[in-house]
């Protein structure tokens, strides 16, 4: 399988001047002049995906979230068309159990929400009228959602909108775990089947196949992590499985964001 890196995902996004105003782009590849042209000639939505750095057992690399969600974000930008993909937000809140393991990085929930808020305000202040926030990490989601809804209410009279695209995580996880359970496998988990498969599909080097072992299987794999930092059962994870699960996340995110953009109407 061809390895897809963050740089390759970014390079896959086309960018250019006004003739390419409806094309997706990676923010870090644009100059400020090119971005200004895009904002003046179109209504691109800025896409900010939140990841994290955390332990997921002996078999998964610490950066699983960040490496896979840049690819999901790039695919989402391609699906939307007039979109600008931001660099991944690399850190997020983690609970005390995961903090006991080397390499886990945690932001206080209020810090995480505040950083996301500052990014949204910066983007809107610089000319964006549409901003979409996603997360691949369940911790702190309620606070993130509340903040995005608050800013959307604040900026709406000024013609700018902020969207929380939750289906990429919540709805997708429900669908993915239902599919796994119907196949007779343990559906949930931290470092479990879908978690491992999606990391494997993003980059096989993120997974140590020889160390795949079940963790705490309580609550369909969604119970507390065990002494190795795992819940669920990663055995049986494949690249094909991970690609399917990733495609589910991107489709649900695109469907929700298209609906949000349509309801918001054209930029002023």
Average pLDDT of the segment spanning 261-266: 96
Say which CATH topology domain 6-264 has: Rossmann fold (3.40.50)
Higher confidence at residue 140 or residue 54? 54
Give residue 235's pLDDT. Answer: 97
Give residue 106's pLDDT. Answer: 97
The confidence band for 268, taking pLDDT boundaries of 50, 70 and 90, is: confident
Contacts 24+ apart (CB under 8 A), 161-164: 161/129, 161/130, 161/131, 161/260, 161/264, 162/120, 162/124, 162/131, 162/132, 162/133, 163/45, 163/130, 163/131, 163/132, 163/133, 163/257, 163/260, 163/261, 163/264, 164/132, 164/133
Q: What is the pLDDT of residues 172-194, one digit of tens each?
A: 999 999 999 999 999 999 999 99
Give residue 10's pLDDT. Answer: 47
Q: Encoding tokens for residue 69?
A: 């969600």
Give residue 152's pLDDT. Answer: 98
Where does residue 2 fall: left (phi above 0), alpha (psi -120 to 50 degrees), or beta otherwise? beta
Give residue 137's pLDDT. Answer: 86
| Alpha-carbon span 189 to 221, nearest angstrom | 5
What's the whole-model pTM score? 0.92
Distances (CA, A) of 208 to 4, 66, 137, 187, 242: 18, 18, 22, 20, 15
Give residue 6's pLDDT. Answer: 46
Average pLDDT of the segment spanning 93-103: 96
> What is the four-CA torsion angle of 173, 179, 184, 188, rounded to 10 degrees?
0
Give residue 21's pLDDT. Answer: 52
Least confident range of 3-12, 170-179, 204-213, 235-244: 3-12
Q: What is the pLDDT of residues 114-167, one digit of tens each?
A: 999 999 999 999 999 999 999 998 888 999 999 999 999 999 999 999 999 999
Q: Encoding tokens for residue 65?
A: 């979230």
| Alpha-carbon span 79 to 13, nearest angstrom | 11
């Amino acid at each position: 399988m061809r390895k897809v890196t963050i740089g390759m995902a970014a390079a896959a996004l086309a960018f250019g001047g006004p003739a390419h105003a409806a094309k997706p782009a990676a923010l870090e590849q644009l100059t400020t002049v090119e971005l200004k042209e895009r904002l003046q000639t179109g209504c691109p939505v800025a896409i900010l995906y939140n990841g994290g750095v955390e332990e997921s057992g002996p078999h998964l690399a610490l950066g699983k979230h960040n490496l896979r969600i840049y690819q999901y974000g790039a695919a989402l930008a391609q699906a939307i068309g007039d979109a600008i993909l931001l660099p991944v937000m690399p850190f997020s809140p983690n609970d005390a159990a995961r903090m006991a393991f080397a390499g886990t990085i945690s932001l206080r929930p209020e810090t995480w929400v505040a950083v996301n808020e500052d990014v949204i305000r910066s983007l809107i202040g610089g000319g964006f009228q549409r901003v979409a926030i996603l997360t691949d990490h369940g911790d702190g989601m309620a606070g993130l959602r509340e903040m995005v809804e608050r800013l959307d209410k604040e900026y709406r009279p000024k013609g700018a909108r902020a969207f929380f695209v939750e289906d990429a995580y919540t709805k997708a996880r429900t669908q993915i775990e239902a599919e796994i359970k119907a196949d007779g496998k343990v559906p949930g988990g931290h470092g479990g089947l879908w978690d491992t498969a999606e990391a494997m599909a993003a980059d096989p080097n993120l997974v140590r196949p020889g160390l795949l072992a079940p963790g705490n299987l309580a609550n369909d794999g969604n119970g507390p992590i065990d002494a190795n930092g795992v819940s669920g059962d990663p055995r049986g994870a494949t690249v094909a499985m991970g690609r399917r699960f990733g495609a589910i996340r991107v489709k649900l995110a695109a469907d929700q964001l298209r609906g949000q953009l349509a309801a918001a109407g054209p930029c002023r």
